[in-house]
């Protein structure tokens, strides 16, 4: 019989969300033109005027980087709307861009559709332009804008509720807005913060620097999301016995700021920095939300694009070859033929390995056939069955008798959708995974060992 799920489990939106692994943010708006990050909402709409906006260029950057989802900032806290909303005059329709006939949300969603990329929207809950901010009238205004965006631009994959400056907004505001989201787009993921904690499909990770905690559990007590300033550690690590399944989405910008500033052209994150961020987010059971800052022209600068090309090269070059894919595998407590140990290395998600009922510990020994050199390992749990394994270690051996621990992979805790570990290259014919603690019998999709094309 298959293992029974344990604890909170993901909904369909969250399962789909995890599989994206890396998604992109686009901060482009009034701040781009005023060289600001947090405009006060008084900038003249005429100032918004991208000379060469080309969202197809943005999506081509994503395609090259293997990123399949993009979130556009439609309205940031300065209140300026990137689409010709019916509900405000502070928008592109009063800008000099395309004589007021332009619509960034339209160009973005069309480009995404053409490129096979999922489109998503950041609609800033905080608003410094609109004097109704925080009142019931503002609630109507925000709900109308949400409906406009969710009804007129095709499927919207995620709605992003930034908690920045949003303390005035109550759970009842968000209850109404969440109803709007669910009514128009039931599949839409909600990034929830502060008082939108009840509706969150994914949570903030507690920093904007690109790292999840180690361990990082998919579960958390939702109140930790609400009261974030006293729960930064919980946001970062999750809570193993948390009541709700709300995994972390790691938002970080490829530049020091979220919006474009020419003076930051030389401070774009290096490939080495991005590689660290990848391991510290995707490699820690989280989704990476990487921000691009299109410039005043309306284009992503080539250096930013090249950096994510290189990140993609590193990901593909590292993970294309699981050096354990042809191993023979022995398990201490196998569950049976359907859940056999070689399911760990077959490279598909249709199968998984499971330990026998009643065993929350296990040992899996891989004979690689000949000595191999590797410096990365990957584990993937069957997330639909909950957070099962809670402590594990990996050792290696040249003869299968004398074992050496990999220090970086000793006494690890969470696994979840994906857990990656980097270490000094080791040479081994045998490698073994020891599951030393669990809330239930292990259920794992993947065990892999890999060699990075470069070492730092």
User: Please, what is the minimum distance in Å from the beta carbon of residue 185 to ligand IPT?
Assistant: 21
Quote the CA–CA distance of 158 and 119 in Å, as a whole number. Answer: 8
Name which position in 76, 194, 261, 434 contacts ligand IPT (CB under 6 A): 194
Quote the CA–CA distance of 236 and 249 in Å, as a whole number. Answer: 10
User: Please, what is the minimum distance in Å from the beta carbon of residue 246 to ligand IPT?
Assistant: 13
Residue 265: alpha-carbon gap to chain centroid = 25
Nearest CA to 219 among 239, 248, 249, 198? 239
Q: Between residues 109 and 291, which has the closer beta carbon with respect to ligand IPT?
A: 291
Stretch that binds ligand IPT, among 158-166, 268-276, 354-362, 378-386 (CB under 6 A): 158-166
User: Please, what is the minimum distance in Å from the beta carbon of residue 162 to ligand IPT?
Assistant: 4
User: Please, what is the minimum distance in Å from the beta carbon of residue 336 to ligand IPT?
Assistant: 45
Stretch that binds ligand IPT, among 107-115, 143-151, 162-170, 368-376 (CB under 6 A): 162-170
Q: CB–CB of 64/332 below 8 Å?
A: no
User: Please, what is the minimum distance in Å from the beta carbon of residue 297 to ligand IPT?
Assistant: 26
Q: Between residues 94 and 257, which has the closer beta carbon with respect to ligand IPT?
A: 257
Footprint on residues 258-277 left by ligand IPT (CB under 6 A) = none
Quote the CA–CA distance of 41 and 427 in Å, as a whole number. Answer: 59
Q: What are the DSSP E strand ranges found in 295-413?
A: 328-331, 353-354, 362-381, 389-397, 404-405
Neighbours of 286 (CB within 10 A): 29
Q: CB–CB of 381/417 below 8 Å?
A: yes
Q: Does 381 bind ligand IPT (CB under 6 A)?
A: no
R_g over Cα of the chain: 23
Nearest CA to 200 among 192, 208, 188? 192
Rounded to the nearest 10 degrees, the angle between the axes of helix 55-65 and helix 104-115 is 40
Stretch that binds ligand IPT, among 7-15, 113-121, 128-136, 161-169 (CB under 6 A): 161-169
Q: Between residues 164 and 271, which has the closer beta carbon with respect to ligand IPT?
A: 164
Q: Structure tokens of 182?
A: 């669910």
Q: CB–CB of 123/77 below 8 Å?
A: no
User: Please, what is the minimum distance in Å from the beta carbon of residue 325 to ligand IPT?
Assistant: 38
> Which positions from 225 to 244 touch ligand IPT by CB under 6 A, shown as an x/- string?
---x----------------
Quote the CA–CA distance of 119 and 149 in Å, as a whole number. Answer: 11
Decide the pairing of beta strands 419-438 and 389-397. Answer: antiparallel
Footprint on residues 62-121 left by ligand IPT (CB under 6 A) = none
User: Please, what is the minimum distance in Å from the beta carbon of residue 55 to ligand IPT?
Assistant: 23
Name which position in 179, 208, 349, 437 contacts ligand IPT (CB under 6 A): 208
Q: Does 163 bind ligand IPT (CB under 6 A)?
A: yes
Query: Which pairs count as long-range contacts for 93-97, CB under 8 Å and 24+ apart, including other chains?
Result: 94/45, 94/46, 95/45, 95/46, 95/47, 95/48, 95/49, 96/46, 96/48, 96/49, 97/48, 97/49, 97/50, 97/53
User: Please, what is the minimum distance in Å from the beta carbon of residue 273 to ligand IPT?
Assistant: 18
Stretch that binds ligand IPT, among 136-144, 159-167, 398-406, 442-450 (CB under 6 A): 159-167
User: Please, what is the minimum distance in Å from the beta carbon of residue 169 to ligand IPT?
Assistant: 11
User: Please, what is the minimum distance in Å from the beta carbon of residue 250 to ligand IPT?
Assistant: 9
Q: Between residues 194 and 284, which has the closer beta carbon with respect to ligand IPT?
A: 194
Stretch that binds ligand IPT, among 41-49, 156-164, 241-249, 262-270 (CB under 6 A): 156-164
Strand partners, 91: 81
Q: Does 164 bind ligand IPT (CB under 6 A)?
A: yes
Q: Between residues 201 and 251, which has the closer beta carbon with respect to ligand IPT?
A: 251
- The DSSP H or E segment spanning 430 is strand 419-438
Nearest CA to 169 among 201, 192, 202? 192
Count of residues engaged in binding ligand IPT, rule: CB under 6 A? 9
User: Please, what is the minimum distance in Å from the beta carbon of residue 252 to ligand IPT?
Assistant: 9
Quote the CA–CA distance of 196 and 138 in Å, as a whole number. Answer: 16
Nearest-CB residue for ligand IPT:
163
User: Please, what is the minimum distance in Å from the beta carbon of residue 36 to ligand IPT?
Assistant: 15
Name which position in 204, 260, 392, 450 contacts ligand IPT (CB under 6 A): 204
For ligand IPT, the binding residues (CB under 6 A) are 162-164, 193-194, 204, 208, 228, 251
């Amino acid at each position: 019989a298959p293992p029974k799920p344990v604890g909170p489990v993901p909904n369909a939106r969250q399962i789909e969300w995890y599989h994206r692994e890396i998604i992109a943010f686009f901060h482009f708006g009034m701040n781009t033109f005023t060289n600001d990050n947090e405009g006060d909402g008084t900038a003249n709409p005429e100032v918004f005027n991208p000379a060469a906006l080309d969202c197809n260029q943005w999506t081509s950057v994503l395609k090259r980087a293997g990123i399949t989802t993009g979130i556009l900032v439609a309205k940031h806290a300065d209140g300026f709307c990137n689409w010709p909303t019916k509900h405000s005059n502070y928008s592109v329709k009063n800008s000099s861009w395309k004589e007021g006939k332009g619509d960034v949300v339209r160009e973005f969603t069309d480009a995404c559709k053409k490129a096979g990329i999922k489109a998503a929207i950041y609609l800033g809950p905080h608003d410094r332009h609109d004097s109704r901010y925080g009142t019931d009238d503002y609630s109507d205004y925000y709900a109308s804008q949400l409906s406009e965006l969710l009804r007129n631009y095709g499927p919207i994959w995620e709605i992003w509720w930034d908690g920045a400056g949003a303390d005035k907004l109550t759970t009842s505001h968000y209850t109404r807005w969440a109803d709007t989201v669910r009514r128009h787009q039931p599949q839409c993921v909600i990034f929830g913060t502060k008082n939108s904690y009840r509706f969150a499909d994914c949570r903030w990770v507690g920093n904007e620097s690109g790292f999840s905690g180690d361990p990082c559990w998919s579960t958390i007590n939702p109140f930790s999301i609400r009261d974030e300033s006293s729960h930064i550690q919980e946001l970062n690590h999750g809570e193993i016995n948390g009541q709700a399944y709300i995994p972390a989405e790691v938002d970080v910008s490829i530049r020091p700021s979220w919006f474009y500033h020419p003076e930051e052209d030389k401070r774009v994150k290096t490939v080495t920095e991005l590689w660290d961020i990848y391991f510290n987010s995707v490699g820690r059971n989280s989704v990476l939300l990487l921000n691009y800052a299109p410039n005043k022209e309306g284009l992503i600068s080539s250096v930013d694009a090249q950096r994510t090309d290189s990140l993609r090269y590193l990901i593909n070059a590292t993970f294309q070859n699981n050096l354990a894919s042809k191993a023979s595998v022995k398990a201490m407590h196998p569950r049976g033929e359907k859940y056999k140990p070689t399911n760990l290395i077959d490279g598909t998600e249709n199968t998984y390995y499971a330990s026998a009922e009643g065993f929350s510990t296990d040992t899996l020994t891989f004979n690689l056939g000949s000595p191999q050199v590797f410096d990365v390992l990957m584990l993937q749990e069957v997330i639909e069955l909950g957070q099962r394994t809670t402590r594990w270690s990996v050792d290696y051996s040249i003869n299968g008798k004398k074992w050496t621990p990999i220090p970086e992979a000793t006494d690890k805790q969470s696994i979840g959708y994906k857990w990656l570990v980097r270490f000094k290259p080791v040479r081994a014919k045998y490698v073994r995974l020891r599951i030393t603690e669990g809330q239930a019998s292990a259920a794992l999709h993947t065990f892999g060992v890999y060699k990075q094309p470069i070492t730092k």
